[in-house]
A = this chain, B = another copy of it.
Amino acid sequence: MKPHLPQWTWQLCLGLALVSLLFLPAAPARAGTRSDKTLDVTAFGAKAGDRSDTTPAVLAALTRCRATHATKIIFPPGRYDFWPDRATEQYCFISNNDEGLKRIAFPLDGLENLEIDGQGAQFVFHGWIIPFFLDHARHVSLKNFSVDWGRTFDSEGQVISTNADGITLEFSEACPYDIRNGLLVFTAGSKNPEQTTTVRGTELLYPYGSLLEFNPQKMETAYMAKDYWAKNGIMASDLGHRQVRISVPHLTATPGNVLVFGPSHRDCPAIVLSDSAGIDVTGVNLYHCGGMGVIAQRSRDIHLDRVQVTPAPGSGRVVSITADATHFANCSGRILIENCRFENQLDDASNIHGIYGQVTRLLGPDEIEVKLKHPQQFGFDFIVPGEHLEFADAASMVTYHQAVERLNKEYSRVRFKSDLPQQIKLGDVVADTDHYPEVTVRNCYIGSNRARGLLLGSRAKIVIENNHFHTPGCALLFEGEAKYWFEQSGVRDVLIRGNLFDNCNFGVWGPATIAVGAGIEPARRAESRYNRNIVIEDNVFRTFAAGRIVSAYCVDGLTVRNNRFERTSDYPATGQTVPRFDITDSDHVRLDTN
């Protein structure tokens, strides 16, 4: 587990460790010089700025790395393009993103002690490809590069006018489209007929599943804008001059704003960590990807420093990436996120949780069948032989299991060392209870995105400090439920200190700046205390109109003290009068609201 030290200390320690490991027997190399332990990707055929496919050069460099145990790959500054055509492929189950046979530009499976230093390079990807996939990797550092795409997976149309016939939108050349059988279809344009993993036939289409309005002046989701789900497409007519009129009942929009067509998939997250440990991502700008920015599963000891999820400068786009900026499922060790900026992405800034399976059959006194419920969790190895498990909605218990037989990506059979308690019943949920990460998030800007800020669901210590939140939904959400997402949560020790909560809740995603809840039916709330020991102190809450600050239920241990509350007029009043604090079904609550 990585030590909790100031940033310069951290880097120094890492630097020293590497130096001693590599160069102790020989004369120490000067910092920055190239050795046979450092590979320059241009020696393998990559060339900055020439728009050629860099993928084969990266593969060749990685092959050399594996053979020689080189510890660093560097990119001379400039732009490098990546296409899926000649990339390796692997069938990937990536939690909360979409499974599939994926092309991978940097397949870092099984690698140890490797640093990839872009030295400020711009990596531009094309079509369906995952930039970085770290599978069973250890002590890998990714640094100093940006990630963008030639054609984004979302499409943005400026609202020109609205009337009874519909909304007129104008698309830039960056968003090629077509009208087919009366429906709006987004295409790759004529110049880019790439055929990749997810394409059938000969045309690359960019399917969409949702619509959301953004305010390009404020560079954030429009005030109280709601998601419109468009899974059957949007009826449209072409007006020429790149203008299209869409007809959607009850959808309104403000001229000058931007309607964003969000992709119906999460096929191409930017950085995937799976069963990996000791991963640093430093100085990386994620301007775009088709899924989450950094998604980690069953991994430990992850450090994000100066990671910026933000729309590409000069692109004119209002959206950065198309799903959560970061996401951690069944992780452990230490998660440290500092000096980061997570803005304008199409989902939360982070979500840290475990995963519940549901008991679908009782096969014997010591055996059950369990099923993963959410399709984006299918295939996830959420329990591993030897772990302790908990059951929820039966009495809580702790027991080893000894055998897991996976039937397929949905169903497993689990046999235990001893008989299970009688009260376990069909519909109960089960999760690993051995692995939770310590979490620190500090010195970050989090906001302007669709939905929420941080969803916190680890049972180890959590510290959220010195951040600036400006989220349209909750800034902080403590959840966990077994109805739709099946995400295990239930915090035990949380400190929220020294943050600025700046006009949060200007959108529709959540009841308060800080919300503590879970998918617990009102009738059952008296008996549950799912989240515990949350301290909220020394923060500044700036709220417009009648903003709700804390909404919570089923908490044991909630302290609110020494915060400053400021009223702003930065957004219109909602017209509702709500209490700033709404806390029910909880014990050991200390509420100091002045």
Q: Please report A residues at the B interface, Cβ cutoff 8 Å.
A: 85-89, 91, 98-99, 101, 103, 180-183, 185, 195, 197, 199-201, 231-235, 375, 407-411
Contact = CB atoms under 8 A, between A and B. Distances in A.
B181 A232 contact: yes
Nearest to A411: B86
DSSP class of A's interface residues: helix, strand, loop or mixed? loop
B408 A87 contact: yes
Contacts of A407: 86-88
A180 B235 CA distance: 11
A384 to B, nearest CB: 20
A182 B409 CA distance: 35
Contacts of A182: 181-182, 235
A235 B181 contact: yes
A93 to B, nearest CB: 10
Stoichiometry, as copies per complex, reads 2
A181 B86 contact: no
Contacts of A101: 91, 99, 409
Given A200-B375, A201-B375, A375-B201, A232 B409 contact: no
Given A180-B232, A232-B180, A88 B201 contact: no
A346 to B, nearest CB: 17
A411 B99 CA distance: 22
A103 B101 CA distance: 16
A103 B378 CA distance: 14
Given A88-B408, A181-B235, A195-B375, 14 more contacts: A86-B407, A86-B408, A87-B407, A87-B408, A88-B407, A89-B409, A103-B408, A180-B232, A181-B182, A181-B183, A181-B232, A181-B234, A182-B235, A183-B233
A180 B233 CA distance: 9
Nearest to A371: B85
A300 B560 CA distance: 75
Nearest to A99: B101
A231 B201 contact: yes
Nearest to A93: B101
A201 B232 CA distance: 13
Contacts of A232: 180-181, 183, 185
Contacts of A103: 408
